[in-house]
Amino acid sequence: MAFSSVDPVGFYGKSHVTASLGANHPQLGTVKTFEDGNTYVWAYNAGGSDINPTYAAQLNSAATNASVTVTNATNTGKVFGIVKHSTLTTGTYGWLLKEGFGTIEMHADNSAAARANLYIGADGTGAGAAASEHPYGYLLSAGVSGTSVSAFISCF
């Protein structure tokens, strides 16, 4: 008997992180809306650093599909997703928040008012003022240097 679904079947929750893919894991790049109303994408941390909750991930230029890394560059490129629940250690798979409500870590020496656009800061942090033309969300409250702030995330 074949099973068909418009929405991918979720055998693992949005906090699940794994170093190896089993038969029941989603394919890289699978997008799913969970019961919290947020949309997530299944990704692989192909970079050289862990990506902690509240930090942004970008596509890894040396990899394919939904392989990501945390960036060192400020205001460079587009954000692919945010780690919302569990640290995505190097060489592991997990869900990134693609669209919905989350929390972002503001970069040191960077503050922004409520409803300001959110840009990529150094090392995956958030920045309120940037030369970048690629905002990935907006702040729901004022964000001050080095603190976590609520945001609406909308990645490309």
Q: What are the pLDDT digits (tens) for 1-13?
A: 443 344 555 557 8
What average pLDDT does the structure give for the chain? 85
Percent of the chain's residues with pLDDT above 70: 85
3-class secondary structure, 124: helix
Tell me, what's the pLDDT at 72? 65
What pLDDT does residue 156 have? 79
The confidence score (pLDDT) of residue 1 equals 41
Q: Is 113 exposed, middle or buried (0-12, 13-18, 19+ CB in 10 A)?
A: exposed
Token digits of residue 151? 């945001």
Give whole-number Cα distances, 82 to 4, 6, 54, 93, 101, in Å: 29, 24, 7, 13, 10
The widest CA-to-CA distance across the chain, in whole angstroms, is 58
pLDDT digits (tens, 9 = 90+) for 63-84: 668 889 887 666 677 899 999 9
39 vs 66, higher pLDDT: 39
Give the per-residue pLDDT at 152: 96
Q: How far apart are the first and last CA of the chain?
A: 36
Q: What was the pLDDT predicted at 21?
A: 87
Output the pTM of the full model: 0.86
Residue 4, pLDDT score: 37
Percent of residues, the chain, with pLDDT higher than 90: 45
User: pLDDT tens-digit profile of 106-120?
Assistant: 988 888 889 999 988
Both tokens of 137, joined, read 């969300």
